[in-house]
Structures are given as C-alpha cells and as structure tokens.
Amino acid sequence: MIEQTSGKTALVTGGTSGVGKAVAQELAQRGAQLIIVGRDARQGAQAEREIRDSSGNREVEFLRADLSLVREAQRVADAAASRYPAIHYLVESAGIVRGRPVLTAEGFESNFATNYLSRFALTVRLLPALQAAGRPGKSARIVLIAHPGFNGRIHYDDVNLTNNFGMIRAFKQFHFANDVFATELMRRLAVPGDRPSVTISCLHPGPTKTTGIDKEMPLWMKLMVRLVVHPLISHNPDVPASAALKLLLSDEYEGDSAALFSAFKKFQRVAPPRNLQDPEQGKRLWAASEGWVRSALGRAVETYPAFLR
C-alpha cells in the first residue's frame, strides 16, 4: 500500500528539475510539507511555483544551496531541522557528472563532493530530525539517487584522484561510496530484535531524459548520451520517480534498509557488489568522511549523535 503524506515533511535535493522534481511533485500532490533544494535561484523559484500550482499544496519551500560544499549541506540541514524538527522523507537527487577534475572551495574533487561527501554531511546532520519522525514499523526513509552495484574503490590516499583522474574512476568511486555509506548507516542504526526507525536505500534511476546531468560530461560521453542513449533507451523522470516513491511510501519496504535498487527497464533489486560485504570498509569510510567534513568546515564536528560512533 502507498500511503498519503499529509502532515509529514520531506526534503528533496535536486528537487528543481529531473528526477528530484518529479519525486517532489508527487510528494506535494500527496500532501507533504516539502522543501526542495537546488543551486539555481530562478529555476528554484519557478519549480516552487509550479509544484504549488499543480498540486494545490502551499506547503512547498525552495532553499537555494550549492551542494558541492559541505558547509552548504550543513546549512540546509540546520534550516530544515529548525523549521521541521521531524522529517519523514529525505531524497538526495542532486548530482553532477563532470568530465574534468575541479576542486571545490573546500578542496575536494567536485564529483565526489557533490555526489557523496555532501550527502554524508546532510544525512548525518538530519538524523535527529529523521529519528524524531520515525519509529519501528513506521520508519523515516532516506533514498539516495545513485548507481548502486559497482565493484568500485575508494581512493583514500588520493580521494581527489589528483594523480590519476578519469571520469569512469571518479564515477565508480562516488557511487560505491554511496553504497558503503548506506550499508554502514544501516549497521549503526540497527536495533537488536526490532525494526529500525530510519531506513536508507540506493536507487539507480536508469538513463533519464531532461535531467541536465549531461551538461558537464566529457564530450564523447555527452554525444553518446544525447545521440544514442536518450533516443533508444532513456525514459522520462516519472519512471524513476515512481520507483523512489515505492521505496519512500510502500509498506512492502518497511524496515528494508541498505537495499540497492534499479529503475532501468524494470524496478528491481540490485545484487550488492562483493567488496561491499566487508564491515571494515564501512567503518573506514565513515571515519574518513568525518575527517573530510572536519577539513571542509575547518572545525570539529560536534553534532553527530554519540550512538553513531
């Protein structure tokens, strides 16, 4: 059963276009109090108006943020939690595919910073609000729009890929990091003998039209996507949005955490990669991520709940 969301709160990053906007639209239609996050102020204001008008829901708010920056992810989390102490749904759809190495102002390679590190920072910062909303048997739910299932590698000694940047290497690194993070968060939130109050899933949207994610791809990849992939196999954003809504709202996935899914061709589970099974991988990534967040902020991180350590 898919529930209505009236009286519940959702935050959707990348909610001004593509898959994120399609998910946001459906959540607003079902009555959720909604925060959408995007980088472009004009596009965000337009998306806010469109979602309000089409859904008849006035509880839609746009927050402008550049989620390549950890400090912006923290600011969004603080703003959302101060307004809504209980957050029921978190969808992280903001992402880029940049074909060249670009460092953010905080010193991180921009693909990794946007597609993983800011997600880690935002999610962990919002955990108290998510836990306030969820309970065993009626969990708050997190969905990461990513590409789960890669046998990737996290280059801890050179996470910026300074000495050997390649688009495929960067792609595999940040997507694998999302998988590892979801698995480790599930482990840390586990309650012996009970269902978790917060769950997290990773969803591959499949090739999707009108997302704009191809703007900064390498030329060869951009041409392949626009001339071959989109005409032959890409679907509209409502297809992965429908899959995301199942993971957010369906009773079928209650308590189902750290599961990997794909909306490509059909909605289905994805087998976890072999190297995802090592618990030391999750502990190492979590510790490294806390260090990277401290580095980005230039100060200690005081707000991570003690039970997560």
pLDDT in tens, 251-271: 999 999 999 999 998 999 999
How far apart are the C-alpha atoms of 282 and 272, rounded to whole Å?
14
pLDDT of 1: 47
What is the per-residue pLDDT for 263? 96
Q: How confident is the model at residue 305, as a pLDDT?
A: 55
Instruction: Name the token pair of 32.
Output: 């959720």
| Chain segment 31-77, per-residue pLDDT in tens | 999 999 999 999 999 999 999 999 999 999 999 999 999 999 999 99
- In the chain the domains, ranked by start, together with CATH numbers, are 9-302 (3.40.50.720)
- Phi then psi for 162, rounded to 5 degrees? -60, -40
pLDDT, residue 229, reads: 72
Task: Choose among 159, 138, 102, 147: nearest CA to 240.
Answer: 147
CA distance 258 to 58: 33
* Bridge pairing between strands 33-38 and 259-262: unpaired
142, β-bridge pairs:
90, 200
Contact 230, 254 (CB under 8 A): no
State pTM to two decimals: 0.93
- Cβ neighbour number for residue 147 with a 10 Å cutoff: 24
Residue type, 220: W
pLDDT computed for residue 167 by the predictor: 87
How many Å apart are CA 184 and CA 95, to the nearest integer? 21
The predicted structure's pLDDT at residue 134: 96
Kindly list the distances between the CA atom of residue 179 and the CA atoms of 5, 235, 271, in Å, as whole numbers in the listed order: 27, 24, 11
Q: Which residue has the tokens 């495929």?
A: 168
Q: Which helix (H) or strand (E) holds 12?
A: strand 9-13
Q: Shortest CA distance to 173 belongs to which of 187, 163, 183, 158?
A: 158
pLDDT along the chain (309 residues), means of 10: 77 96 97 97 97 96 98 97 97 92 96 98 98 96 94 94 92 96 96 92 89 70 73 86 97 95 94 87 96 88 54
pLDDT of residue 145: 97
